[in-house]
Amino acid sequence: MASSLKIIRSIVTSVAMLFCFSSCENEVKEVQSLARDERIPMEVQRDFLLRYSDSSYIRMELTAPLAESYPQLDQPQREFREGIFVRFLDANGKETSRLTAEYALQLIDKELWEARGNVIVINEKGEELKTEKLFWNSRREIIYGDEFVTITTPDQIIMGEGFTADQDFTEYELDRPSGQLNIEDDAS
């Protein structure tokens, strides 16, 4: 009788454990399904640092207070809800331009970024581009947008709708210029 009681306890324990494991597995699948449907980050990082290199040279350095990754989505992405700061570097490690924005979204597989909210790009000559939204194609190394843009140089302020530039912001083109102001030097 005691041995049959041990066998029954063993069977009951095994069935209970099997139920728990299958229940946990179902919960994991349910959470993964919800994450796909409700855009829940699978990874959250504070004080995020990302560096791109080419031929052992660091070409770009991005920092952000917060990065949330969504690898489970059909288009894997990383979201920067607290903004980004990007430095573009030449082969000698010298900064050629910088980009700041209050929000950014990276479409990882497409190597495409969207920056929004007080977006500012400054090149090594001190020229400044301001807009509310731009796109950065890191594969082609270009930035572009179709929003209102202001470009400030030492002697001009140029305004327009839409632009295309290299990521170093040394060469740029406005799509629909709407105004130009010449800045005079009062020191003479």
DSSP code, position 102: S
Buried b (16+ CB within 10 A) or exposed e, 145-154: beebbebbee
Specify the fold of 41-182: lipopolysaccharide transport protein A fold (2.60.450)
pLDDT per residue as tens digits for the range 169-187: 999 999 888 866 676 665 5
pLDDT per residue as tens digits for the range 58-84: 889 999 999 999 999 999 999 999 999
State the Cα–Cα distance between residues 121 and 98, nearest whole angstrom: 6
Q: What is the pTM of this model?
A: 0.74
How many CB atoms sit inside 10 A of residue 177's CB? 15
